[in-house]
Structure 1
Amino acid sequence: MKGAAAAPRREGASASRTRLRDHYRAWRDHHSLSAADSLRRVLDSPASSLLTWLAIGIALALPVALGVALENARVVSGSWDSPARISLFLAPAVDDGTAASLHARLAARGDVAEASLVSREAALAEFAELSGFDDVLANLDDNPLPHLVLVTPATGVAPDALQAELAALDTVDQAVLDMAWVQRLNSLMDLGRRLVWALAGVLVFGVVLILGNTIRLAIESRREEIVIVKLVGGSNAFVRRPFLYTGLWYGVGGGAIAALLVLCALWYLDEPVSRLAQLYQSDFHLVGIGLIGSLQLVLLGGGLGLAGAWLAVSRHLGAIEPR
């Protein structure tokens, strides 16, 4: 009797289970190779790459430079922000006693923080000192300047409402809100900020289009390579990766160019601005973007590069398939 039959032997290949560490190592190595190869391809054509970097850099530098200009204007106007003050020019017929009585009543009001009286004689003397026309003013028969009462509204009081109320007094010829021009300036600056944001949005969209078109040309130049990779089983993510790094390098280079342009513009303007400030007895200096701002601009360029590359690859890569 024959012995027990031997167990049948398996034939053919056996599938091995790939460890997670091997997946990660392959993914990491392909990222490294894709980044290095993409950078090499970008540097291999320096003329076209430089033109792309300059186009991106100028588009990013323009809104940043306008934003820096608005920030410096805000710093300058910040030194002008003082409590609103209302100048009450009294009627020419008002005498010294009536002016002093009005000043006392205004100083006692609860909605007035401070009130000071400038007599017409003091106003004429100050004008003569500042204008240098002492001899001419000395020959005047009458003092043409009126009495002036300077009123500072109390905290929480609307200057416009108080101005309208005081302008209705019989002894007041004209009431001028001294801070009205600062309010107009602030409104203009707010409008400027909105325009800068709108311009920045348009230019950022233009940067994405520039990068998308550049990546599209890169995809077309490597069409046969993409077909071969897909024939051997390469996934869309595998094919997409080098082009994403290409967009990243273009964006980072454009952001660096933008930061360099802004810094050069600030360096060029710093000396004349400082001289102008000294003429007005000010120690103002231009406020720049600094190291952090420069790094943020480079990161912004890199992010836009990735966004433009992703849009271009997502649109054109699917149309390239092996036949």
Structure 2
Amino acid sequence: MKPRTKTTSRPQGAVHSRTQWQDKLSAWQAHHSTCAIESLMRLLRSPLQSVLTWLVIAVATALPATLYVALENIQALGYQWQDSSQISVFLRRDASAQSITEWRQQLASRQDIAELTYVSPEQAMSEFRQHSGLGDVLDDLEQNPLPPVLLVQPATTASQGAALETLLSDLQAHPLTDDARLDMMWVQRLEQLLLLAGRTVFFLALLLVLGLLLVIGNTIRLAIESRRAEILVVKLVGGTNAYVRRPFLYTGLWYGLGGGLIALILLAAGLYWLSPPVSQLASLYQSDFKLEGLDFITSAQLVLLAGLVGLAGAWLAVGRHLSAIEPQ
């Protein structure tokens, strides 16, 4: 007698459900790709209207981007100014050479000091004689009135206001110090100006994003009104709001991406135009400062952000006006 073989079979319902889910996913992907291509081709078939809308979006996007680039360059220039700041430490006249040397060795080991320069009274008098033009007057002096000076260059990590104040306090508290000078006001003013400029750029960007939402929303509203009959037919044959919404969402996305790309071109053209005079002005001050634009990642983020704003504007417009179009 032959043993019975037990056969197992996959439930037909599960196979059917999986196949149905894959078909729906394929149809969803196909419709998205079709809507993306058709919406782009529709924009290209009306080039004048599309270019004008892209230019409006580009100008609104380029304004905060330009301010952001200007702020970044000012910050970079400010860091150079902070790095070039020096603390002038005027030493006591009766300080011995050995004690000054020992203190210089101690200061050289500090992490918040990048460079230390000692100027003896003789060197200071020689420089003053050379640049002042008062050689005859200085010859009549019985003794050198200039004290020894330490020129302390703070490190980059100590170039901010609070760190500079701490370093200045330590130098002033030393017994060999007669006086220590650092103009802190310009550092504090620079920091506050940069903070104010950053908030101004952020606020202006929010206003322009709101303007972009209104511009794209109005453009999508006109597109919906021009295709009202087509929308009614699609809804009559069973098309859902999500089905009807997709082409307009891709239209808003293309508007945003195109405006972002044109904004990058405008920004690059402006930097190219301004770079020569800025470099010449910097060279007059013995500086190698040059204007820096957006890097690749920031540029991609700008275009993506413009595309998302376009998508959001289209979503708001479609959600508001599409529900009003229903077959009777």
Provide TM-score, normalisation by structure 1: 0.75
Answer yes or no: is 1:238 the counterpart of 2:243. Answer: yes
Structure with max Cα Rg: 1
CA distance 1:109–1:208, shift in 2 (3 Å) = same
Percent sequence identity is 51
The amino acid that maps onto 1:270 is S
Structure 1 partner of 2:202? 197
- Are 1:244 and 1:310, in contact at CA under 8 Å, matched by a contact in 2? yes
Gap runs ≥5 in structure 1 = 1-15
AA aligned opposite 2:136: A
Task: Check whether the contact 1:85–1:150 (CA below 8 A) recurs between aligned residues.
Answer: no
Question: Are residue 290 (structure 1) and residue 295 (structure 2) matched?
Answer: yes
Task: State the shift of 1:73 in Å.
Answer: 2.6
TM-score (norm 2): 0.74
For the pair 1:64 / 2:65, whether they are aligned, the reply is yes
Q: Give, in whole Å, the separation in 1 of the partners of 2:29 and 2:117.
A: 75
Residue 317 (structure 2) aligned to one of 307, 312, 315: 312
> CA offset at residue 263 of structure 1?
1.0
Structure with bigger helix share is 2
Aligned to 1:249: 254
Q: Secondary structure of 2:94's match?
A: helix
Name the stretch that deviates more: 96-105 or 297-306. 96-105
**What's the C-alpha RMSD, in Å, of the aligned pairs?**
3.8
Give the secondary-structure state (helix, strand or coil) at the position aligned to 1:97: coil
In structure 2, the CA distance between the partners of 1:216 and 1:164, relative to structure 1 (3 Å rule), is: same
How many equivalent pairs are there? 301
Give the match's secondary structure for 2:230.
helix
Q: Which residue of 1 aligns with 2:94?
A: 97
Change (3 A) 1:314 1:20: same
Is residue 219 from structure 1 mapped to residue 216 from structure 2 by the alignment? no
Q: Is the 8 A contact 2:125 2:146 kept in 1?
A: no
> What per-residue deviation string (whole Å, max 9, x for no partner) do you get for residues 9-61 of structure 1?
xxxxxxx9983343233323322332232223222322222221111111111
Cα distance change of structure 1 residues 161 and 235 upon mapping to structure 2, 3 Å threshold: closer
Q: CA deviation at 1:312?
A: 0.8
User: 1:308 offset after TM fit, Å?
Assistant: 0.7
Structure 2 distance, partners of 1:144, 1:312, is 81
3-state SS of 1:19 partner: helix
Asked if structure 2 preserves the Cα contact closer than 8 Å seen for 1:85 and 1:179, the reply is no
Please name the residue that 1:31 is paired with.
32
Partner of 1:147: 147
**Closer, same or farther in 2 for the Cα pair 1:170/1:289, shift >3 Å?**
closer
Q: Cα 1:110–1:168, aligned 2, differ >3 Å: closer, same or farther?
A: closer
